[in-house]
Structure 1
Amino acid sequence: MHSDLYKKSLRNEDLQEERRNKQLQEQKRLRTALQDEHRQISNVDIAEEIELPKRYFDSRRNKEFTKIRPMDSEWLWQRPSDLQNWLIMPYPKGQRCILIAEGACTRIYTKRGKLCCILHTRFPGDLMKPGSGTVVDCVYSRADNTIYVIDMLAFGTNDLVNCEAQFRFFWLKSRFQDYEIDLDNDKGGKKIVLLDKYDFAYIDSVEETVKRFPYWPDNKPKLDGFVFYHKESSYVFERTPLMCWLFPYMITDVLGIPSSIRYKKPTDYIGATQYMHFLNENEMKKIKRNNEKLKSEPMDASLLIEMSETSDIEVDSSVELVPNDICTTGGMELDSLEEMLAAERSLELEGK
């Protein structure tokens, strides 16, 4: 039942472009409907507070959660016929997380929704920038203690989920410049950095990007791979063919664009498509092992619930939480951000 959580072909990688076009049409239809709805209330002040994702507290596990989940990618099985309508983003090795600023503080959640950190930023919704709130998709790199911003779902009173990716990224970049986004008085020395995107309509910049090694100075953080976004795609809370992924050593095989030969291929790599299938098979074997473990080992009910909501067995550490609607003004780490996110990352890599 967890098979949809992985970058797998479903034996229909040849249909990826067809599924992609179908999703694009559906998203365009939804945007048009929303625009028509706003026109009908054009004489009304609509600059109201947006509805941020609800937080909830599980007393059985003594943890706070959010139901929001980040958008997830598929393999880029083939070169898109409309490659000029795509963007590419270098992605650092790290742990995916969701950052939510509201109620005079900023919370960081793991990609499975578990609260792991409370601190202060200059995003709207935090103490320094009062406003409706901010929801940002991020990846945390332990190598340089940096939170890299991928995408933005909400900012102030603006809901960006149904906006096209190209607009979201433009908005995100301009807000970073206007608000001088950063952490406030973070004792751990963390930074917030916006990840760059490159447009395939300007192929020279893309070619320069995939040839660069190391991508970041001193190879910190290391480049994990490249994420591809269709310019017209909305943000969805599931896996989508409008957001795709390749490891650096797959770029030339799939896109026909020369990449740096310093990104070493695995010893058992014989081609991009074959290796994608190989990795998918390993993931499915891991799912099967975990499902068998669920059936064979006695567990308490709360752990069973937690495992049923995730694809892996999650490392469970005690977290001392502040009440759901209270934030300390000095910033507070509820658990080691590095340890909790690293635990999730290690589980994702297990079996590969």
Structure 2
Amino acid sequence: MEELTETLSASFSVSKIPNNPAAPHPRLSNYKVRTSAVDQNERRRKQLEQQKQNRRDYVNLARRLAEDDWKDCSSEEDELDESAEDMDTSTTKTKKHRKKKLRYYRNRLMLSEWLVDVPSDFETEWLMMLCPIGKRSLIVSARGRTAAYGRNGYKLNQFPSLLPGGNRQRTSASGYSILDTIYSEATRTYYVLDVMCWNGAPVYDSDTEFRFYWMRAKFEETPEVSSNAKLNPFKFIPLKYYACDKENLTKVMSEPLPFEPALDGLLFYHKKTHYTFGTTPLVTWLQAWMLPDILNIPVPQSYIDNKPPKARLLPPSPMDVNNPGKAKGKSKAQVEEDVSEVDGSNTME
């Protein structure tokens, strides 16, 4: 029974999102992908082309998020997952209002995929962030208060802060900010992954390089937000970003972590991607123990020790059992030998 449960947990997935980090990595040897997703590199190329054509009124969207004003909301601003409304069968006016309000704050974060196919321009066109263990939160500071929302749109907390618009004693009529963060309860700190709006200026449609540069510059201008105070009970600390060349990544992984919590994993951002809602192949994710197999980057033994028992990653794609000849650098016989070894292993316990 235990063996059957393990098999089902590794192979069953409700989500149709390609390379979903909520599921095991597609290259884990006992994880069988049930649907053949479009090549990750091809989806990256298409999304980079598509974002040039997709222009939204981010000024108006940021204002609505800041002011919680959704009157006469256009269909473009309301392009969220409508399935959330079907979850509540209650017909009371209060619950309907809460559900309608909830959906405007859900799906407002840019989410990652597993890094499966390493892009050819990885060293030159990508940036990396080390991510602490914590809870992903959308931060909106406006009208003299600061609110933290979960990925599902629920408000997790409300408090004053020294972010623009986040404190009644130091706010302005037009100031508001929107941040993508990871909250660490142990350190009472919001570690900032990305900035979408600062002091009323949205940068959703700016590329990653600019957003990261701007984020660092704005936090250097307002160092008080990174310290605990009566008017700033939670710290806001921007996470560092690094170039993705092998020498630099090897150096970063050998150094002490730049934050107190334990390492959750690594995010990789394409330099040219805009801040888009939902899962994108232009932002990818790995756990530290995967770096030697996926990127050929050595990591300290402490990270290898966190590897799940018996976990083993398959050789780089394309490796297709139905088309063994596609496996780069291997004969059909060698591929079949690898597959036979994989089928006899159990990587996740």
TM-score with structure 2 setting the length = 0.66
Does residue 190 of structure 1 match 2:234? yes
Q: Paired residues, what number? A: 259
Amino acid at match of 2:46: K
SS at match of 2:129: strand
> 1:121 touches 1:184 (CA, 8 Å); kept in 2?
no
The offset of 1:206, in angstroms, is: 2.1
Alignment partner, residue 256 of structure 1? 296
The offset of 1:146, in angstroms, is: 1.2
Q: How does 1:260-275 map to 2 (within 5 A)?
A: 260-263=300-303, 264=305, 265-271=307-313
The offset of 1:60, in angstroms, is: 2.7
The offset of 1:80, in angstroms, is: 1.4
Q: Deviations over 1:103-127 (max 9, x none)?
A: 1111111121111211112222223
The offset of 1:239, in angstroms, is: 0.4
Alignment partner, residue 24 of structure 1? 48
Structure 2 CA distance for partners of 1:52 and 1:172, relative to 1, 3 Å: farther
Alignment partner, residue 102 of structure 1? 142
Does residue 60 of structure 1 match 2:95? yes
Structure 2 CA distance for partners of 1:237 and 1:155, relative to 1, 3 Å: same
> 1:119 touches 1:186 (CA, 8 Å); kept in 2?
no
Structure 2 CA distance for partners of 1:272 and 1:226, relative to 1, 3 Å: farther
Does residue 215 of structure 1 match 2:257? yes
- Give 5+ residue unaligned stretches, structure 1: 38-46, 275-350
Structure 1 window deviating more from structure 2 (159-168 vs 261-270): it is: 261-270
Provide the C-alpha distance between the structure 2 equivalents of 1:68 and 1:186, rounded to a whole number of angstroms: 30
Amino acid at match of 1:215: L
Provide the C-alpha distance between the structure 1 equivalents of 2:132 and 2:193, rounded to a whole number of angstroms: 10
The offset of 1:92, in angstroms, is: 0.5
Amino acid at match of 1:19: R
Alignment partner, residue 136 of structure 1? 179
Alignment partner, residue 274 of structure 2? 234
- Give 5+ residue unaligned stretches, structure 2: 1-12, 27-32, 71-92, 317-347
Alignment partner, residue 145 of structure 1? 188
Alignment partner, residue 81 of structure 1? 120
SS at match of 1:59: helix
Structure 1 window deviating more from structure 2 (47-56 vs 231-240): it is: 47-56
> 1:120 touches 1:184 (CA, 8 Å); kept in 2?
no
Alignment partner, residue 92 of structure 1? 132
Q: Deviations over 1:307-351 (max 9, x none)?
A: xxxxxxxxxxxxxxxxxxxxxxxxxxxxxxxxxxxxxxxxxxxx9
Structure 2 CA distance for partners of 1:244 and 1:272, relative to 1, 3 Å: farther
Does residue 166 of structure 1 match 2:209? yes
Structure 2 CA distance for partners of 1:50 and 1:240, relative to 1, 3 Å: closer
Deviating 4+ runs (over 4 angstroms): 8-14, 47-50, 61-64, 186-189
Amino acid at match of 2:49: Q
Provide the C-alpha distance between the structure 1 equivalents of 2:204 and 2:315, rounded to a whole number of angstroms: 31
Q: Which has the higher contact order (CA 8 A, sep 6+)?
A: 1
Structure 2 CA distance for partners of 1:100 and 1:160, relative to 1, 3 Å: same
Structure 1 window deviating more from structure 2 (137-146 vs 84-93): it is: 137-146
Amino acid at match of 2:105: K
Larger radius of gyration: 2
Alignment partner, residue 75 of structure 2? none
Alignment partner, residue 15 of structure 2? 3
SS at match of 1:122: coil
Structure 2 CA distance for partners of 1:52 and 1:174, relative to 1, 3 Å: farther
Q: Considering only aligned residues, what root-mean-square deviation do their CA atoms show, in Å?
A: 3.3
Provide the C-alpha distance between the structure 2 equivalents of 1:129 and 1:176, rounded to a whole number of angstroms: 17
Alignment partner, residue 42 of structure 1? none
TM-score with structure 1 setting the length = 0.65
